[in-house]
Each structure stands twice: as structure tokens, then as C-alpha cells.
């Protein structure tokens, strides 16, 4: 278990406060725009930018970005895109669904295939990284830590799914979210968390708790007022 109580130097503390303020600004602005304005499409167009900026901020607070770290990032992005490609084209993973336009342009979006936005791979990376870091706050053996992190990932998806169709993230066949989606999310999350735990790089990032909490509340609150 890493000691997360170790104080940051003053300069790093200031940078952390700025980064936390930016994360809050992205999400509060987006929430207010989606929930309380007559033109939510204007705010939806910034979804890819928000995800990219959040990932960049997390990256800035990752210590020792070594070859193992970059290998982990690339592997998770590719695996994320891969399972989503299989999912949207076969229904054998997650169920029958297709992506809308909110996450941006799609790869392989030509007959006979159904396209997948590459940003979904980045989303898998951010979730795997954030939830893996959070699970390390507890002094758990590897297997319980993997299971806890996977449950944290599924918990965020539980909050996201009720609003995903409304905001054109993705759409389920017959507008029914199948249990298969959550089951397969948990399985894929466990695989990615095993990779996270077995990859050697410093697993400390002070920005992680706020990112997870902010995203969880963002989608949960949208779901309560949709």
C-alpha cells in the first residue's frame, strides 16, 4: 500500500489545486449546460475535449512515465477499442448497441462494419487508471483490489447508462440496457485491472479521487433530472 498522506511540496500543491479547479470547471459547466439550458447540443460538442483534457491533467500528475506506463496506456486503449468493435458489430460483448455522435468520429465506420469512436479507448484507459489508483488506497491483496477496482468501474457505468442514449453517447437496441452489459463490463474491467496491477510504474496520483467523484456525480445527477 502506498502512503497517500505524504504532503506535497508547495509548488505541486498549487498545481494540484489548479488542476482540481479545471476538472470542476469542465464538469460543472457541462452539467449546468446539459441540465438547465435549451441548447444542450452546444455543450455536448465539448465532450471529447473534456475527456482529452481530463486525461492530460491525470497524465501531468503521473510520476515517472516510463516505458511500462506508456505500454500500459497503449494496450488499454487498443483493448478498449477492440472489445467495443466486437461489441457493436456482433452483440456478443455488452449486448446490441451502436454509438452516436457525441464521442466524435468513428473508426471503421463503413459497410459492412459499425464504427467505434477512438475516444472510447481513451475512456477505458481513464477509468482503468482512476479506479485502479483508488483501489490502492486500501491495504488489500491483489485479487480483492482487482475486484474492487472493477466494481468502481461498473459503478460509474451504472450512473452513465441511464443518460447515455439521451445525450447520444450510444444507443441500445429497443432502448433496453441488458444485464449482459454490466456483466461484461465487470469481466473486461477485471482483465484491465489485472494489467494495471501487473504493470510496473508508480501508482500514485493525487488528482484521481476528484476525477472519479466528479464524473460519478456528473452522470448520477444528470440521471436524476433527465
pLDDT in tens, 61-84: 999 999 999 999 999 999 999 999
Cα gap 57→210, rounded to integer Å = 12
Q: Which residues contact 66 (CB under 8 A, 6 or more apart)?
A: 200, 201
* Residue 5: inside a domain: no
For the segment 197-207, the average pLDDT, to the nearest whole number, is: 95
Sign of CA dihedral 96, 101, 103, 109: positive
Give me the number of domains the chain comprises: 1
What's the pLDDT score for residue 186? 98
Position 3 pLDDT exceeds 90:
no
* Residue 99: inside a domain: yes
Position 8 pLDDT exceeds 90:
no
Supply the pTM of this predicted model: 0.93
* Residue 2: inside a domain: no
Tell me the residue range of the domain where 122 lies.
Answer: 10-225
Q: Which three cell numbers stand for residue 188?
A: 473486461
Position 7 pLDDT exceeds 70:
no
* Residue 108: inside a domain: yes
What's the pLDDT score for residue 1? 56
Contact 54, 211 (CB under 8 A): yes
What's the pLDDT score for residue 12? 82
* Residue 30: inside a domain: yes
* Residue 15: inside a domain: yes
Contacts of range 142-148, beta carbons closer than 8 Å, 24 or more positions apart: 142/197, 145/193, 145/197, 146/190, 146/193, 146/194, 146/197, 147/190
Amino acid at each position: 500500500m502506498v502512503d497517500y498522506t505524504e504532503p506535497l511540496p508547495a509548488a505541486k500543491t498549487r498545481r494540484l489545486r489548479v488542476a482540481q479547479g479545471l476538472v470542476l470547471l469542465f464538469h460543472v459547466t457541462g452539467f449546468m449546460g446539459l441540465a438547465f439550458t435549451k441548447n444542450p447540443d452546444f455543450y455536448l460538442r465539448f465532450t471529447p475535449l473534456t475527456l482529452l483534457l481530463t486525461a492530460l491533467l491525470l497524465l501531468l500528475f503521473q510520476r515517472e512515465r516510463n516505458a511500462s506506463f506508456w505500454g500500459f496506456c497503449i494496450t488499454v486503449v487498443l483493448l478498449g477499442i477492440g472489445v467495443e468493435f466486437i461489441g457493436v458489430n456482433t452483440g456478443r460483448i455488452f449486448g446490441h448497441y451502436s454509438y452516436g455522435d457525441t464521442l466524435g468520429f468513428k473508426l471503421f465506420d463503413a459497410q459492412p462494419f459499425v464504427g467505434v469512436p477512438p475516444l472510447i479507448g481513451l475512456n477505458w484507459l481513464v477509468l482503468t487508471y482512476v479506479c485502479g489508483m483508488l483501489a490502492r488506497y486500501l491495504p488489500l491483496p491483489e485479487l480483492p483490489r482487482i475486484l474492487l477496482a472493477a466494481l468502481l468501474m461498473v459503478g460509474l457505468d451504472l450512473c452513465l447508462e441511464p443518460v447515455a442514449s439521451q445525450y447520444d453517447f450510444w444507443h441500445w437496441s429497443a432502448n433496453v440496457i441488458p444485464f449482459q452489459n454490466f456483466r461484461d463490463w465487470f469481466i473486461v474491467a477485471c482483465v484491465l485491472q489485472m494489467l494495471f496491477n501487473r504493470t510496473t510504474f508508480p501508482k500514485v496520483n493525487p488528482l484521481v479521487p476528484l476525477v472519479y467523484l466528479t464524473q460519478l456525480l456528473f452522470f448520477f445527477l444528470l440521471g436524476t433530472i433527465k
